[in-house]
Amino acid sequence: MLNIALPKGRLGEKVYRMFAEAGFRCPSIEEENRKLTFESPENGVRYFWVKPSDVSVYVERGAADIGVCGRDILLEYVPDIYELLDLKTGICRMAVAGSVGFRDDHRRTLRVATKFSRIAADYYASLGRDIDIIHLNGSIELAPILGLSDVIVDIVETGTTLKENGLHELETIVPVSARLIANKASYAFRQDMILNIRNGLEKQIGGSKQ
């Protein structure tokens, strides 16, 4: 069976439906329960739900043959995997945001709170801007509100979280969408099955709305 790591949550459910439509249904995953692994021997697949930021770890190390994760994860962790397809869903962007009225004072080091330290460091290095990264694990929007940072680098989808917290987008760093990725050895040895899934998913693109 081919092991497939899906990101737990809304994106994963959307993406599973694309796999199902592509011919890789797994009835047990559609039942409400707290299980993490689901097998469909008829279709030759075993799915498992993992934390979105862990998908690339499972795939890089071969615990999963293929998986789906956001481009943000690939840019942040730079895993040694093959990127096979842009699924054109889970569309959002990596952006810099700050309080309404924030003005960057270039004489000072900019304090940047983020979960995406590498993306933030690369972005500001490309601008030649000196920054101090404050690495957080969630609720990043709190940092500028409480004066912990000047700005944040985070995912923006609808912009609602920013708006409801008195923040706004200052700069877009990079567009993000879900990507199908493969372990390199798995791709070499199980290419037919992997390409079969890839091509089936490609046909679903556009059918699965955001």
Q: Which residues bind ligand PRP (CB under 6 A)?
A: 138-140, 154-161
CB count, 10 Å around CB of 137? 7
Query: CA–CA separation, 133 vs 109, rounded Å?
Result: 10
Residue 28 or 210 having the CB closest to ligand PRP: 210
Alpha carbon distance 83, 94 (integer Å)? 19
Q: Which residues share a beta bridge with 49?
A: 6
Nearer to ligand PRP, 164 or 192 (CB): 164
Concatenated DSSP letters of 109-177: PEEEEES-HHHHHHHHHHHT--EEEEE-SS-TTHHHHTTS-SEEEEEESSSHHHHHTTEEEEEEEEEE-
- Please check whether residue 198 is in contact with residue 65, taking contact to mean a CB–CB distance below 8 angstroms: no
Which of 33, 158 has the CB closer to ligand PRP? 158
**Residue closer to ligand PRP (CB basis): 139 or 172:** 139
Rounded to a whole number of angstroms, the minimum distance from the CB of residue 162 to ligand PRP is 6
The CB-of-44 to ligand PRP minimum distance in angstroms stands at 31
CB of 185 to ligand PRP, least distance (A): 31
The whole-angstrom distance between residue 81's C-alpha and the CA centroid of its chain comes to 15
CB 141, min distance to ligand PRP, A: 6
CA distance 20 to 42: 13
User: Shortest approach of ligand PRP to residue 153 CB, angstroms?
Assistant: 10
Nearer to ligand PRP, 45 or 68 (CB): 68
